[in-house]
Amino acid sequence: MRVNRAKLNELIAAKLHKAGLSKEHADGVADVLVHADVRGIHSHGAMRVEYYAERIAKGGINTEPEFKFEKTGPCTAVFDGDNGVGHVAAKQAMDEAIKMAESSGIAAVGVRRIGHSGALSYFVRQAAKAGMIGISVCQSDPMVVPFGGSEPYYGTNPIAFAAPSQDDRIITLDMATTVQAWGKILHARSRHESIPESWAVDREGHPTTDPFKVNALLPIAGPKGYGLMMMVDVLSGILLGLPFGNKVSSMYHDLTEYRNLGQFHLVINPAFFTDPGEFKQRISQTMDELNRIKPAPGIAQVLFPGQNSDHIQAEYEKNGIEIVDEIYEYLVSDIVHKNQYDNKDPFAK
Ligand code: NAI
């Protein structure tokens, strides 16, 4: 069904407030989740609310965190999220990074001890809206084999990048470093469909087309994606003194425990490298040039990264956001959660 953006925001915020978050934090999380839904990234939108509500209710998210921002050098800082909701901590840390980059040209902010923060495009677009380049990476729970391995070590460790143009368009690359998200395997299971060989491996490390035999996901582009995953884990885990690799806490393992996750923001102020107006003009130019590249057979137009989501957003803003009926019914119900996520093995059949 279709739901108006403001209404969806209100429903999500109300549910998370009921689950135990402060009004301010519930509003902050709702904003990030609705950003994902309105851009067609439904895997990180309203569908996550019930899981968060259960985790909040069970104590696995600090509902009264004390955020601490510590400047550690001319252009570096550490933001401690005290295991509150990751969305709000990551947003505030990006606000601080943007402020720092205004005067220092570049800012690197490590975000320590947070819960899951959702779709990273939200944070990098904050920087782009302030006229800067934003880069953000974060660790996630282990479910991916390192290249050549047969057991999971890394998470789907996403990378996001945004840059502003001279109009209101923003280049928005926002990608997991796995070929496919875990949700796509679950989707194939629910439909008893096979999956392409390139997505995942079984317990012996053989590529599998049977979604029920999947033991771990595969990185994008073999050793190259594996290397990127490692880079993300170094920046958002090892560098920040947090658990790393297969010691990163699992999304569903124990909902009473804090997750202690890490994220890393980098903001670059174009004014310290070139004329900022010219920079934006050249970004617009490259977007236009890409759109004019002769498309391959069967493709309507070459898009710049994020333009697919821009198209979805334009349609959803006009006609309402497409939301699964079951999720809407949960949001409008009195139920906080149905106790269905705790200790759920992501690889359970
Ligand atoms: P995806 O595969 O849907 O898109 C990846 C990128 O490709 C996007 O930048 C998208 O705009 C671009 N793209 C897609 N189609 C295109 C086209 N036709 N032309 C040009 N560009 C195109 O994204 P993925 O990898 O499934 O990630 C989904 C979300 O999951 C992201 O928001 C990511 O941040 C989030 N995520 C969050 C995690 C966390 O722990 N917080 C963990 C893993 C992912």
> Model confidence over 311-330: pLDDT tens digits?
999 999 999 999 999 999 99
**Is domain 2-275+310-332 annotated with CATH 3.30.1370.60?**
yes
User: 346: pLDDT confidence band, cut at 50, 70 and 90?
Assistant: low
Give the integer Cα–Cα distance in Å for 115 and 65. 11
Backbone region of residue 221 per phi and psi (left: phi > 0; alpha: psi in -120 to 50; beta: other values): left
- Amino acid in the structure at residue 290: L
Cβ 80 under 6 angstroms from ligand 1 = no
Average pLDDT over residues 291-305: 98
Return the ligand 1 atom nearest residue 177 CA. Answer: 25
> Domain residue spans in the chain?
2-275+310-332
With a CB cutoff of 8 Å and minimum separation 6, the contacts of 266 are 97, 106, 107, 108, 134, 135, 136
Percent of the chain predicted with pLDDT > 90? 92
Q: How remote is the CA of residue 286 from the centroid of ligand 1, in Å? A: 21
pLDDT per residue as tens digits for the range 142-157 = 999 999 999 999 999 9
Backbone region of residue 148 per phi and psi (left: phi > 0; alpha: psi in -120 to 50; beta: other values): left
Tell me phi and psi for residue 4, to 5 degrees.
-60, 145
User: 292: pLDDT confidence band, cut at 50, 70 and 90?
Assistant: very high
User: 347: pLDDT confidence band, cut at 50, 70 and 90?
Assistant: low
Cβ 263 under 6 angstroms from ligand 1 = no
Cβ 117 under 6 angstroms from ligand 1 = yes
Percent of the chain predicted with pLDDT > 70? 98
Q: Is the confidence at residue 348, as pLDDT, over 50?
A: no
Q: Of 42, 44, 116, 337, which residue is the catalytic one?
A: 116
**Token pair belonging to 65:** 């965190």
pLDDT per residue as tens digits for the range 212-235 = 999 999 999 999 999 999 999 999
Identify the pLDDT of residue 252.
Answer: 86
Average pLDDT over residues 241-248: 98
User: 349: pLDDT confidence band, cut at 50, 70 and 90?
Assistant: very low
User: 305: pLDDT confidence band, cut at 50, 70 and 90?
Assistant: very high
Residue 35 a catalytic site member? no
Q: Which region among 7-21, 30-44, 329-343 has the lowest average model confidence (pLDDT)?
A: 329-343
Average pLDDT, the chain: 95
Q: How remote is the CA of residue 174 from the centroid of ligand 1, in Å? A: 4
Cβ 162 vs Cβ 128: under 8 Å: yes
Average pLDDT over residues 278-286: 98
Cβ 233 vs Cβ 156: under 8 Å: no
Tell me phi and psi for residue 267, to 5 degrees.
-120, 135
pLDDT per residue as tens digits for the range 40-98 = 999 899 999 999 999 999 999 999 999 999 999 999 999 999 999 999 999 999 999 99
Give the pairing type, strands 2-3 and 321-322. antiparallel
Q: Is the confidence at residue 205, as pLDDT, over 50?
A: yes
Cβ 201 vs Cβ 215: under 8 Å: yes
Cβ 207 vs Cβ 217: under 8 Å: no
Give the pairing type, strands 68-73 and 133-138. unpaired
pLDDT per residue as tens digits for the range 182-203 = 878 887 887 889 999 999 999 9
Cβ 219 vs Cβ 179: under 8 Å: yes
Give the integer Cα–Cα distance in Å for 192 and 129. 43
Cβ 181 under 6 angstroms from ligand 1 = yes
Give the integer Cα–Cα distance in Å for 37 and 47. 9
Q: How remote is the CA of residue 40 from the centroid of ligand 1, in Å? A: 10
Identify the pLDDT of residue 342.
Answer: 79
Identify the pLDDT of residue 186.
Answer: 80
